[in-house]
Structures are given as structure tokens and as C-alpha cells.
A = this chain, B = another copy of it.
Amino acid sequence: MKGVSVIGVGMIPFGKYPEKNIADLGWPAVKVAIKDANIDPRRIQAVYSGTARGGAMVGQRIMGRIGLAGIPIVNVENACSSSSGALAQAVIAVGAGAYDVALVIGVEKLTKFGGGTLPLDDDDWEVKLGLSMPALYAMRAQRYMHDYGVKAEQIAGVSVKNRANGAKNPDAQMKKEVTVAEVMGSRMIADPFTLLQCCPTGDGAAAIILASDKVARQYRSDPIAVRASHLTSGKFMSGFRDMTSPEITVRGAKETFEESGLGPADIDVAEVHDAFSIAELLYYEAFGFCPRGEGIGLLESGATKIGGRIPINPSGGLLAKGHPVGATGAAQVVEIVRQLRGEAGPRQVEGAKVGMSHATGGGISGFDHGACSIHIFQR
């Protein structure tokens, strides 16, 4: 146990807000979290703000907008796990007694880059040769199909499930259910991925308020405990030894379960990093929700639907809720906290007591991923 609880969460609906700057995306999420925590905002003692491509001083800009600067503010960049990485630091600081109450923000404005995949840094030779994120995951999907005799239509089932979940989430960017035929009939991006198997580009913000267990119940009677908070980086070149076993997540899962004393069977609900349809299947296996090669069977059994044995991405995940990169990790935690409180409405996972969030990313030459952060929460 870390001695740290979540007392407030908030987000704005993910989507496209080309007219808003990043501070004006961020502060409304913070205000929702403050209201949710039932806290005087002047009790917030530190801010950890995650953004991948938001530019300079994003946390300061957001807090300045609502008159709450003058406290420590740290901006964290860790690609897709920017705000979950920020959360990991906030958990350390609150757990250490450095602060009683800390705010975590995740925010991103991707519409400023236009559409398509993000512009990438100029010193990635593999990326320059074509190994963009869709291409990397497409190679994994091809290998998975080859190794396990799986058809492209089967993998498309991940998008069908997650879009069905997103249709129940007012904060999701994509709120329309789709069929396998619609997924397969959408534009080809990187074989076997069609457009609807790739997370959309969008903007968003999410916020989390942490409190030490000592003070948490001053604000809410139902604090959600942080059972594990884990961050790691990829091992150089390891990602290419085995295309269908994402090393950073396999190792991260193992270390997180060791840290928490929990195992995959203890997880009632999880948000995992389904940036592409295949990713969710690989993560089922990486977390041990099923043996290797059986992810497709787990999906097709219905076990990962809401109402199944281990519902995955009830929010709609990155595929439907959206993936404004720096906001994603925090938004996953918003969903898990709402699930554990029983506030998830039509997408509620009944009786969920333990939930997990998983954000991984940052494809750079020679790594599978540069950063992965996993958190486990318990009511």
C-alpha cells in the first residue's frame, strides 16, 4: 500500500477543439475534479501535469487560468504515458509526505498538427524508414495472425467491442457502434488495419486529485486507494525479439503484480492501451488475463465485454474514447475510479472492486516502447 488515495477525478469529453488553446482544454477538467473531490482548491499543494506535445509550461498555463499558481508545478513528458508518468511521481511525493494533496493533469491538443499520425522526431532512423506506430503494430498483427491462424476480421472485433462501449460513454470521441463489416470496409491504413482499427486523433484533458490516506476522508467518504503505481522504460532492442510479446508491458505487469501482491485474477476491470485493435489482444496476454495466443479466444468468448469475466476498456478505450496522447493515462484513471465508485452508468462493471490502468508508448528507434505506466486501484 502506498498510503495514497484518489479523491477526485474529472475530464472533458475527448474530441476536436481546434479553437481552444491547451490551457483552455485543461482547466475545465481540473474544475470538474476539484468539485468531485469536494475540496477547497487552495488545499492543492502541488501539480504534476502530463503532456506529450503540448509545448512549454502547460501546467503553469492551466493553473494560472484558474488562479491557483504559486505552488510546485512539474510538467512531465513520457509520450503516451505522460500523465500516467506524472501520476506515478505524484504518488511517490504524496506517499512520501511531501504533500497531503496533489493534482495530476493530462492534456493534449493534437488538432494543431492536422490529421494522421503525429510528427516524429528527426533522429529516429527506423521511423524515417517507415516504422511509424501504425506500421509497427501492423507488423505485430501480421505476426499474430501468422502464429496463431487468426484472420483480420477476428482482430477487428476489438474495435467492435470498444466502439460499443464508447457508445455508452458521454466523454468518448467516437460514440457510434460499428459492425465488423463496417470496420473491415473502412479505409486501409496499414495492412491488416483499416481506419476503424486505429485510435482517432483528437484533443482532451483529464485530472486526478490525490490525497494522503491521512487526509483523504476529510473530503470524500469513498477514497479509492492506489494499490500499485509503476513506471518503467523499454529495454533497448528488446522489442524486436518477439513481435507479439510487448516486453515493456510484460515486465511492467510482472513488477506491478509483485508490488501489489495481486494477480490478473484479482482485476475486476481494466483500461489498457488499445491504440490499435491488435494491441488490446497482446495486452490481454501480457497481463496474463489469458495464455499467449489465446487473446483472440478471450475476446470472442465475450469475457472482456461489460458483463464478462474481465471487462476491458469499458470507457471505449483509445479506439473509441480517443487518444489525445498526454491526456490518455489520466483519463483511464478517471474511468477506473468511476467504475470502482459505481458511477459508470450504462457501462458500469457491476461490483468492480479492483481496477487497473495501463498506458504505454513512445516508439523510438531500438525500443518497443519508451515508457509504460501501470496503476492498480481498489475501493
A: residues with CB less than 8 A from B are 21-23, 47, 52-53, 55-61, 63-64, 67, 69-79, 85, 88-89, 92-93, 95-98, 120-123, 231-236, 238, 251, 362, 364, 366-367, 370-371
Given contacts A92-B96, A123-B22, contact A67 B233 (CB under 8 A): no
Assembly CA distance A376 to B19 (angstroms): 44
Given contacts A69-B236, A233-B71, contact A77 B93 (CB under 8 A): no
Contacts of A71 in B (CB 8 A): 232-233
Q: Given A22-B123, A57-B79, A367-B60, answer yes or no on A85-B74 (Cβ-Cβ < 8 Å).
A: yes
Q: Is the CB of A121 within 8 A of B55?
A: yes
Nearest chain B CB to A106's CB is how many angstroms away? 14
Residue contact A77 to B56, C-beta cutoff 8 Å: yes
Kindly report how many copies of this chain are found in the complex they form together. Answer: 2
8 closest Cβ pairs, A-B complex: A96-B96, A60-B370, A70-B235, A21-B123, A75-B77, A73-B233, A57-B370, A72-B231
Contact A61 B233 (CB under 8 A): no
Contact in complex: B370, A72 (CB < 8 Å): no
Instruction: Please give the distance in Å from A97's CB to the nearest CB on chain B.
Output: 8
CB distance from A105 to the nearest CB of B (A): 13
Residues of B within 8 A of A234 (CB): 60, 64, 69-70
Task: For the complex formed, measure the closest distance between the CB of A113 and the CB atoms of chain B, giving whole angstroms.
Answer: 13
By a CB distance below 8 angstroms, the chain B residues around A53 are: 56
B64 and A366 contacting across the interface, CB-CB below 8 Å: yes
Partner of A60, one of B67, B93, B123, B371: B371
Q: What B residues does A85 contact at CB under 8 A? A: 74
Instruction: Write the chain B residue with the least CB distance to A67.
Output: B236
Across the interface, do A78 and B75 meet the contact criterion of CB distance under 8 Å? yes
Q: In the complex, A74→B47 CA distance in Å? A: 15
Distance in Å: Cβ of A85 to nearest Cβ of chain B = 6
- Tell me the minimal C-beta distance from A4 to chain B in angstroms: 11
Which residues of B sit under 8 angstroms from A121, Cβ to Cβ? 55-57
Question: A64 and B236: CB pair below 8 A?
Answer: yes
* Complex Cα gap A56–B233 (Å): 13
- Measured between C-beta atoms, what is the minimum distance from A70 to chain B in Å? 4
| Besides A64-B366, A71-B232, A89-B93, 15 new A-B residue pairs in contact (Cβ under 8 A), listed by A number | A21-B122, A55-B121, A56-B362, A60-B364, A61-B364, A64-B234, A67-B236, A69-B235, A70-B234, A70-B251, A73-B78, A74-B88, A92-B92, A95-B96, A96-B97
